Amino acid sequence: ILNIFLTSDEGGLCRTIGGIYWIILSAGYLGSLLWGSAILLVATMTNYDKTVVKTIGIVLISVTLLYIRSAAGFSFGLLFGIGLIAFAQNFSTYACDVLLRYIGLTSSFYVILDIKSDLLDRNVPDSDASKLAEMLHLPSQLVGGAWFFFALFITWKVLRSTVSGK
């Protein structure tokens, strides 16, 4: 990763050198889904909530300092990271558990809505889906649809797992 640009309108761009192109193209949507799922699973299946909140804050600050170059992204990353650390230090384990569940659910559900809005409801010529579709010689709506159903499936499996405890 060379740098990451985040905008206040929920957009962004990650500039990289090398790597596996189809994974990089999928990382924006599906990476958010997998991180949200992991956070939700950790929140529901462990008692390390304060440590996890603090660790996410530290990682967020570190990634922001290393890679984020836009003013909006830099400000958000630093402030949210500091906020997470302060939250973990000043609130109970239960409050940290609720916060982690909220972050995990929000991240997972937002991916589904974002894919639908960006890739299924409209066709953006320079989107990650259009670039991956071009690489695979497929329509971009097909790639968006595959990501959408994958996101629905993973979210359903994670929610089912958190409810059943398995």
Q: Report whether pLDDT(30) > 80.
A: yes
Nearest in space to 108 (alpha carbons), one of 80, 138, 148: 148
pLDDT score recorded for residue 7: 75
Task: Kindly report the three-state secondary structure assignment for every residue of 66-78.
Answer: HHECCHHHHHHHH
User: pLDDT averaged over the chain?
Assistant: 90
- What gap in Å lies between CA 130 and CA 141, rounded to an integer? 8
Q: What is the pTM of this model?
A: 0.85
Encode pLDDT of 99-123 as tens digits: 999 999 999 999 898 888 877 777 6
Average pLDDT over residues 129-146: 87
- What is the DSSP-derived secondary structure letter of residue 121? S
Average pLDDT over residues 109-138: 82
Q: Report whether pLDDT(166) > 70.
A: no
Are 53 and 96 in contact, with CB atoms under 8 Å apart?
Answer: yes
Instruction: Indicate the pLDDT class of residue 157, thresholds 50, 70 and 90.
Output: very high
